[in-house]
């Protein structure tokens, strides 16, 4: 059953048409991902569906009684309300009944007001609460608030940062279980653990329809059952998630290219025929002429522009950054404890961890903008740093895109020397768009301008703080390719798992209480290595007892441990500790700047990395074996 149905939607801003004759239907419980280039009209489309903007033409039909919630990229919250009240406001009738119930209860407790009237109001409000889901709705709301990392729900919204405000707005959108929720870049400012919770919630617990606008390709692939793309003002629908969309889109583009080749071949043949024929035509010949004219009148498919990113690196030594025993504190909290790290040429380190763990603080310390309480950060003699921060700072709203790059006339990328206008075209800004003011840009377009400013400089160490926020998937792919081909090094704070899998050569994990650990490999390798240890830690903390099974289910036959298996189980903890100690020793050696001193150390470093991988794999294997034997022991005793 459709929740919303739109027909012939059109929307333009000045001479720029973003939506042109779009038809779209969204049905109950459908989960749809929306993709497209920055500035193509995704947010505009979502706001039109939510009733927050009016189309220039076309119709929007919403199911009678349907509730729609929209998460804006920059939500505005009432500054004088508590976070709890803002979130619960989305429950509308339930929240109104709750307030009446609590007010009547308070008057009865202090003995003020009309006794009989307050008792009647309390009873009526209580019945309404029960009809609308009871106090479980409050518990569900509090669980969502907790999972989204919203601390102290009694705080006023006026005290929030931008990222905190988005999490509160996201909780408000989800708590009311609307008929349709439209989420515009919901994963921005969320850490990986919270994103994974959001994925699970949208897949398994959210009961309404979903329109999801996001650049997070893992989320799109896991959550979406259909993917729609806005391009050149039109909308194309594909069944399935992101991977299926990529395959179908590639086929669509290939088909359009084949059709255009066939049209051009047809035109060449018909033009040759027209030139050879006399001017007098038969009816049959005139029909052929009409077909040729019709083919000539068809517009060729617009070639989709791709961002072409490149970063000019400068001469570099073996070590660009040395971190020795660094401890960082902010606001009385210890974020980093005695960190040792050496960043060599070609390394791309992805930084992960919960919000507030200290990831951005480490980048600030590397730039010299935050003083460690202990230890030392030393840049190599040849190190030249380029920075992209979360706030995309340094852009002045009054400037045009062209002016934002300063007064330079050319940009040099390796051996190539480009005029600034040609350089900006690589970032998908044509000559007309380069005259647009920064204040008129979308979040993704601002991010592209910041990237253009960063990449115009010759650097060999780039610090990127959430570089994927607001970028469309095409620009993300170009950024990934650029970093992989870049001869220098990169330190990247990101929650985008797809991006880290493509780019990172190692992961620096903020694990809490100042503990920061370097793991070889990309994000998936890091999660695979740490998953076993996390499960083992949880199992060790769990109370020992019989395994519980569902009522009425027959217990599986579990074989008791043999004498040899009991002996093996008794010794596994010691083995795990030995191998973990070896892995820690290898990590420390790889983090030691002296390891990289001298010539011809490449083979030795490669061997150390291979030994570390082997040690970490052995830890995972032993942990898995311990879990298996421990589960069998508990089930049979």
pLDDT in tens, 537-595: 444 444 433 333 333 333 445 567 776 777 777 777 778 878 877 877 776 676 665 66
Q: How much is the pLDDT for 259?
A: 73
516-520 vs 506-510, strand pairing mode:
antiparallel
Q: Considering the chain, tell me which residue range(s) the CATH 3.40.50.300 domain(s) occupy.
A: 319-521
Round the CA-based radius of gyration of the chain to a whole number and report it.
30
> What mean pLDDT do residues 420-446 have?
85
Q: How much is the pLDDT for 287?
A: 65
| Whether the Cβ atoms of residue 55 and residue 19 lie closer than 8 Å to each other | yes
Q: Considering the chain, tell me which residue range(s) the CATH 1.10.287.380 domain(s) occupy.
A: 525-546+556-636
Most confident stretch, 16-20, 474-478, 587-591, 626-630: 16-20
Q: What percent of the chain has pLDDT over 70?
A: 84
CATH of domain 525-546+556-636: 1.10.287.380
Most confident stretch, 27-41, 87-101, 612-626: 27-41
Please give the structure tokens belonging to residue 78.
């009432």
pLDDT at 173 over 80: yes
Query: What's the CATH class of domain 319-521?
Result: alpha beta
| Beta-carbon count within 10 A of 50 CB | 21
Q: How much is the pLDDT for 181?
A: 94
Cα–Cα–Cα angle for 271, 275, 276, rounded to 5 degrees:
120
Q: How much is the pLDDT for 547?
A: 33
pTM above 0.75, yes or no: no
Q: How much is the pLDDT for 250?
A: 75
Q: Taking the CA atoms of 221, 473, 195 and 500 in sequence, report the sign of the dihedral they define.
A: positive
Q: Which residues pair with 417 in a beta bridge?
A: 412
| CA–CA gap between residue 55 and residue 17 (Å, rounded) | 11
């Amino acid at each position: 059953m459709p929740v919303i149905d739109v027909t012939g939607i059109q929307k333009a801003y000045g001479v720029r048409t973003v939506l042109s004759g779009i038809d779209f239907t969204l049905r109950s419980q459908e989960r749809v991902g929306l993709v497209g280039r920055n500035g193509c009209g995704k947010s505009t489309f979502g706001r039109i569906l939510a009733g927050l903007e009016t189309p220039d033409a076309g119709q929007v039909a919403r199911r009678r009684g349907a509730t729609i919630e929209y998460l804006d990229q920059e939500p505005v919250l009432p500054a004088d309300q508590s976070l709890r009240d803002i979130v619960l406001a989305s429950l509308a009738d339930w929240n109104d009944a709750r307030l009446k119930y609590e007010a009547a209860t308070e008057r009865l407790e202090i003995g003020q007001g009309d006794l009989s009237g307050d008792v009647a109001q309390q009873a009526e409000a209580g019945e309404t609460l029960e009809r609308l889901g009871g106090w479980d709705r409050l518990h569900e709301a509090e669980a969502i608030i907790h999972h989204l990392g919203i601390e102290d729900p009694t705080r006023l919204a006026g005290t929030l940062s931008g990222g905190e405000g988005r999490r509160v707005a996201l909780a408000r959108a989800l708590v009311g279980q609307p008929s349709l929720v439209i989420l515009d870049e919901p994963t921005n400012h969320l850490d990986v653990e919270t994103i994974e919770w959001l994925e699970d919630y949208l897949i398994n617990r959210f009961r309404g329809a979903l329109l999801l606008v996001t650049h997070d390709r893992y989320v799109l692939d896991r959550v979406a059952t259909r993917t729609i793309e806005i391009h050149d003002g039109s909308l194309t629908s594909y069944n399935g998630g992101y991977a299926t969309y990529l395959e179908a889109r590639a086929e669509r583009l290939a088909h359009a290219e084949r059709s255009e080749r066939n049209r051009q071949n047809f035109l060449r043949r018909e033009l040759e025929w027209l030139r050879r024929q006399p001017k007098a035509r038969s009816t049959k010949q005139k029909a052929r002429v009409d077909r040729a004219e019709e083919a000539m009148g068809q517009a060729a498919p617009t070639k989709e522009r791709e961002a072409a990113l490149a970063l000019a690196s400068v001469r570099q030594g073996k070590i660009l950054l040395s971190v020795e025993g660094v401890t960082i504190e902010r606001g009385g909290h210890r974020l980093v404890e005695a960190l040792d790290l050496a960043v060599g040429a070609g390394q791309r380190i992805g930084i992960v961890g919960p919000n507030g763990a200290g990831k951005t603080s480490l980048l600030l310390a590397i730039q010299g903008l935050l003083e460690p309480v202990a230890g030392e950060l030393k840049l190599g003699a040849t190190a030249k740093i380029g920075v992209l921060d979360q706030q995309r700072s340094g852009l002045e709203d009054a400037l045009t895109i062209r002016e934002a790059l300063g007064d330079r006339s050319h940009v040099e990328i390796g051996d190539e020397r480009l005029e600034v206008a040609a350089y900006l075209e690589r970032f998908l800004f044509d000559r007309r768009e380069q005259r647009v003011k920064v204040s008129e840009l979308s979040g993704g377009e601002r991010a592209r301008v910041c990237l253009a400013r960063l990449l115009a400089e010759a650097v060999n160490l780039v610090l990127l703080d959430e570089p994927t926020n607001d970028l469309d998937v095409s620009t993300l792919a170009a950024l990934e390719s650029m970093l992989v081909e870049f001869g220098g090094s990169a330190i990247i704070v990101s929650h985008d798992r797809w991006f880290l899998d493509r780019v990172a050569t190692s992961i620096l994990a903020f694990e809490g209480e100042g503990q920061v650990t370097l793991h070889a490999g990309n994000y998936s390798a890091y999660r695979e290595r740490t998953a076993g240890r996390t499960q083992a830690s949880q199992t060790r903390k769990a109370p020992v007892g019989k395994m519980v099974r569902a009522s009425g289910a027959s217990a599986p036959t579990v074989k008791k441990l043999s004498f040899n298996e009991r002996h093996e189980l008794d010794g596994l903890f010691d083995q795990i500790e030995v191998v973990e100690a070896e892995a820690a020793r290898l990590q420390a050696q790889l983090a030691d700047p002296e390891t990289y001193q001298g010539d011809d150390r490449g083979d030795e470093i490669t061997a150390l990395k291979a030994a570390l991988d082997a040690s970490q794999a052995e830890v995972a294997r032993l942990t898995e074996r311990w879990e298996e034997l421990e589960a069998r022991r508990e089930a049979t005793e």
